[in-house]
Amino acid sequence: MISLDINLNVLTRDLSLYLENQVKVGLFGSGVGLSLVLGFSAAYTCYYLVSVAKKPQLVAGGKKFYKFLREQCPVVSETYYPTFWCWESRIQTLLRPFVTAKPGVTYRNELIKAADGGQISLDWFDNDESPTHPDPASRPTVILLPGLTGTSRESYILHMVQQSRDLGYRCVVFNNRGVSGEMLLTPRTYCVANTEDLETVMEHIQRTNEAAPLMAAGVSMGGMMLANYLGRKGRSTGLKGVVLFSAGWDVFECTASLEKPLDRFIFNSYLTSCLQASVDRHRPVLEKAYDIDHVMKAKTIREFDERFTSIMFGYPTNDDYYHAASPVHTLRSVQVPMLCLNAADDVFSPSHAIPVEAAKQNPNVALLITCHGGHIGFLEGFWPRQSTYMDRVFKQFAQAVIEEGALLTDLSS
């Protein structure tokens, strides 16, 4: 026992001396440790620069629109450097609401009547202090459409309002029925395939701002609804241009992607619960027409749509609804300049469903596809709090459409 104790003491003493000499200030004080850190950093930097940071792919249906974007929106030709510590798709998607700042914005709310007796909530940022467009009658106006359960208070909406404010423009946010605190007056909410409320809003904005140039931006589901609206209205929209962010193009593919085990756990279940919470808030109105208890048992977005959305809007089956909701089927009919930003790693809008070939057939459509960015992520810089790649695309395109819109006439020529 004495011999064993002595050997253990000697071993402990020798190990302590070795650690004191080799790791005096922890890992970074060790020659071996420092070499490992430097080697890993160099390897990671090489991987990032070669495989992560890439120029986006710009696909346009016509040379005129392609040239316009290259000349007026330099961001479409620049390398996109995702935030190096969170470039993975799901991390970008999850972190954006928490990392990016929420600029202070004061809205003026307006409730307008819909044809069925319901009400639609609009949040206006009038920008009365605009130095470049002091006349409110002719002040350029940007119409913003949030995502599935989003409102005018989402960080990505606030950032676009801030960018518009810097340009001297006015903004109005179209909140879908029942999501921004207003009461439902009729048993009807919203869906991406039905553009009646959007048509009502567009007509109202045009009537109240007849001399103001108009453009629109839609995010996620808001972008899908906007694309469907453009496809159905053709040229009679009054819009000078449109930009979409992270729109899903084929709803069948989008839902299938979100039903994969990991994405179902991270995203699908959460979004389903958000939809159910919105329905439950308006239960007294909705339960007169729908089986709300059955709706509240849905586990996925697809089940929610089968039990609620497709029934509300009169589709024979949920598949019929998903076909009508998919903008890929209306893309060929778009007759307003439309730029669409998607990330190839977006699990909400899988890359194989992005309609590259269809876009090539329409001179009014351009796709901007980044390798990374996730869903409404597009974080860039070391600490992406103030601005994202998506913000820069929005600002440059909005300014180009409003200030240089004459260059976008007759894109088919």
Active-site residue, 220 included: yes
Whose CA is closest to 367, among 399, 393, 388? 393
Contacts with 121 (C-beta within 8 Å, 6 or more apart), sequence order:
109, 110, 111, 175, 177, 180, 181, 182
Half-sphere exposure of residue 304, counting CA atoms within 13 Å on the CB side? Answer: 19
User: What tokens does 172 get?
Assistant: 């109005």
Active-site residue, 329 included: no
Contacts with 208 (C-beta within 8 Å, 6 or more apart), sequence order:
none
Catalytic one of 197, 250, 305, 346:
346
Catalytic one of 220, 257, 326, 349:
220
C-alpha distance from residue 320 to each of 118, 193, 252, 257, 315 (Å): 25, 10, 11, 19, 6
User: What tokens does 34 get?
Assistant: 């420092």
Asked if 30 contacts 23 with a C-beta cutoff of 8 angstroms, the reply is yes
Catalytic one of 89, 372, 375, 387:
375
Which residues are known to be catalytic? 220, 346, 375
